[in-house]
A and B are shown apart, each in its own frame.
Chain A
């Protein structure tokens, strides 16, 4: 069953018209990305429906390559394509640099993502289910603290993308679903909040009632822990990172510096292949869009078939994510890492699913005799790839002494320099979890990404808490 729109758009006629117009222009290459999406958001606050937001967006993004110069234009008014193409050509002609671009995509494909359609369940039923679940969790008599607020933010998004260039026609659809549980609790005069989320590139099958309840129950449990935890001290210690935090480390500290566009403008400290980041040969980090994670894609936004890239192999910088432009400049072929937030953005080099590969250590063995802080749950991260400084927030820090828990803390952070941080990795777990999901921002574009990895033990690093010890 197809998604229902209230707007009727004759996609193929629009594509034909735009293509025909571009064919009359004296340009070496063009690509057209026409997209149509429908988004629904529901916010339930306690037992009330606070917001229901619905929107439909259609638009087209057109890239041109004229006299070896790159221009991009987009519009939500599909009938206005001639005007914006002409404006774009005029701007592009004034650019001061010719850029090498070759090996354009030549693919024809229709990719329909198997999922349970969002329209299969009525909006009313979805709303009522969220109210029911929220009420049940708030009124749970077993809670040992007071829940002041419980808000569920539910979002579903269905996008259809058409990619056309002189040799390609690709159709891809993609369902995304995101549920956020935001809770505020109070105990012994202390107030705390926590956000727990479930983000999937899936349809309704990902958000059955049991998954929603699990999300809220987990959030309630974490909030209960945070309410009795002390603020984390700033201290040097051995640390054990859970897969969610390891995923963030892979994304922030390695992924961003291994984007080829950063390399071309000297904006990454990982500026050449062969840089040794650690002597630990088990450290291997990949970006893999073919894995069904939140950053999954079959063809990228330049029509290139996506494939995995091994960024760090056995502790050494091995490869970079590329798009057509960066690959052409480096005399190679794109590995399909070009992504755009939507039709209104030009595709740039982006990550997809970025993760550490598993090692040999059993999780149980990693905790035996462990002394230090076990860091769980991420709270955002950031990196300056040009100098290599990174930092990210951690929700929970559990202090261990010879394998026993001796304290629970909250709001920690880790930071360091990319060139030295992984040198202290001493153990890598043998089990991998790559279900991490996030929203990566770069050049004012947000894309959905996945991450993860195994448990990782790192010796003698600084934890930045909110208290000085």
Chain B
């Protein structure tokens, strides 16, 4: 069955049999570069149909990749049998919101012939002083998705190009630096710029040595701040974590928890953002929300299950991840500061600009405690870069740590987010 046949078949039986469908079809073309050459090519396509039913208020789901009429009907029966085994809270019905927002995506990027980008990548793999090797990938991802239930439906089609570059260097000691970019508009694709940033960082981070214990101003690159955000803050903002008291944020709803400089909004309707959507994967309207407003934790998010269980409003954040629905944000936009990163570095007396943190997945969301290692950083003394450092411990509790954080005006685009450099004064490192 092609996608039109699948769509028509699902539309026909969705109402008749009271079934929800999420169809996903993705195509990824990619190249790998190693050392100074483009060495491997990959073309991948995948499709999946997620089938969900409600029987006596209980949901049951089944996912198939071999999509034909018989397998869809068998999947519906299987999902019904699964629903009958459940004894959880009762869901009334699928969402019935009608999408009102139209999200625009660049149409030119879809038309780019991926292999035409290969010579440009090869051109950037230059043999320069200290560079011993490159490794990385360039990907073009085309996705098509439809959601439908008996009351509503949506279709989405997006394309993005992603480039990740790791530059491996050696002067006296070996070192490396990585940089990546996501492009959602054809006119923004700038392979040279991404490579140049990776090469610049690699040159800056030559000859790492163990850092010295002391008190520093820490400057996190947007990549590292995004790691901290998704590792230690965002997972604790879901309604389920709050209600179960499994997040250190559970007692801070509506209260100030971080610096007043920290404001993060969820914006699901932005043009050319990869996670934009008018409806979530449960048929509910997505809305702009302030997650943190000047350090105050404003909005936990709830999918249909958790909203029903804890008697809260559905926030339109139920999204399919693999073969289940879970509660997730769409695009996250962090409000930038007013000072450029260059000015901030110039004013720094004793600091470290942190390019990588190791151990992010060892964090504990229940308490907010963390114990991380600076994998690569550049020491700053009186506004000037001095040593490259590694293996310096950054430990503590995220609430105390982010009480004075502020941000640069410079921001980086991640496809589904915008983040700044984050600056924390007076951090004790060991």
A residues engaging B (CB < 8 A)?
A: 6-7, 9, 39, 41, 45, 47-59, 69-78, 80, 84, 87-88, 90-92, 94-97, 99, 123-124, 127, 131, 148-149, 184, 186, 191-193, 231-232, 234, 264-267, 269, 344, 346, 379-384, 386-387, 389-393, 411-413, 415-417, 462, 464-468
- Residues of B near A73 (CB, < 8 A) are 42-44
B311 within 8 A of A: no
Q: Is the CB of B45 within 8 A of A76?
A: yes
Sorted nearest first, the 8 A-B pairs with minimum C-beta distance are A393-B362, A97-B37, A91-B41, A55-B63, A391-B373, A413-B371, A76-B65, A466-B369
Interface centre among B78, B173, B370, B395 (most CB of A within 10 A): B395
Q: Count of chain B residues with Cβ under 8 Å from any Cβ of A? A: 83
Contact of B43 among A91, A234, A467 (CB under 8 A): A91
- Residues of B near A267 (CB, < 8 A) are 133, 135, 166, 168, 176
A-B contact pairs, 28 of them (CB 8 A): A56-B64, A57-B65, A58-B66, A59-B65, A70-B40, A74-B45, A76-B65, A88-B41, A88-B42, A88-B43, A95-B40, A95-B41, A97-B34, A97-B37, A97-B39, A234-B393, A264-B35, A267-B176, A344-B46, A382-B359, A382-B360, A384-B356, A384-B390, A387-B376, A411-B369, A413-B359, A464-B430, A467-B396
Interface-side segment among B114-122, B279-287, B328-336, B412-420: B114-122
Contact of B395 among A72, A92, A94, A234 (CB under 8 A): A234
B259 within 8 A of A: no
Majority SS at the chain B contact face: strand
Complex-state Cα separation, A56 to B61, whole angstroms = 12
Complex-state Cα separation, A50 to B85, whole angstroms = 11
Q: Is the CB of A70 within 8 A of B39?
A: yes
- Residues of A near B396 (CB, < 8 A) are 466-468
- Residues of B near A411 (CB, < 8 A) are 364, 367, 369, 371
- Residues of B near A390 (CB, < 8 A) are 358
Given known A266-B170, A389-B358, contact A94–B115 (CB-CB < 8 A): yes
Q: Which residue of B lies closest to A48 (CB)?
A: B88
The smallest beta-carbon distance between B49 and chain A, in angstroms, is: 10
Q: Is the CB of B395 within 8 A of A384?
A: no
- Residues of A near B81 (CB, < 8 A) are 123
Q: Which residue of A lies closest to B361 (CB)?
A: A380
- Residues of B near A95 (CB, < 8 A) are 31, 37-41, 118
Q: Which residue of A lies closest to B125 (CB)?
A: A96
B246 within 8 A of A: yes
Given known A71-B40, A392-B362, contact A124–B324 (CB-CB < 8 A): no
Q: Is the CB of B168 within 8 A of A72?
A: no
- Residues of B near A84 (CB, < 8 A) are 43, 45
Complex-state Cα separation, A28 to B46, whole angstroms = 27
Complex-state Cα separation, A135 to B241, whole angstroms = 21
Q: Which residue of B lies closest to A62 (CB)?
A: B43
Q: Is the CB of B395 within 8 A of A466?
A: yes
Complex-state Cα separation, A462 to B213, whole angstroms = 12
The smallest beta-carbon distance between A434 and chain B, in angstroms, is: 23
Q: Is the CB of A49 within 8 A of B395?
A: no
Q: Is the CB of B430 within 8 A of A468?
A: yes
Q: Is the CB of A387 within 8 A of B35?
A: no
The smallest beta-carbon distance between A408 and chain B, in angstroms, is: 16
Q: Is the CB of A464 within 8 A of B376?
A: no
Q: A417-B210, A468-B428 are in contact. List 6 more A-B contacts (CB 8 A).
A: A7-B74, A55-B64, A88-B41, A94-B38, A265-B133, A346-B42
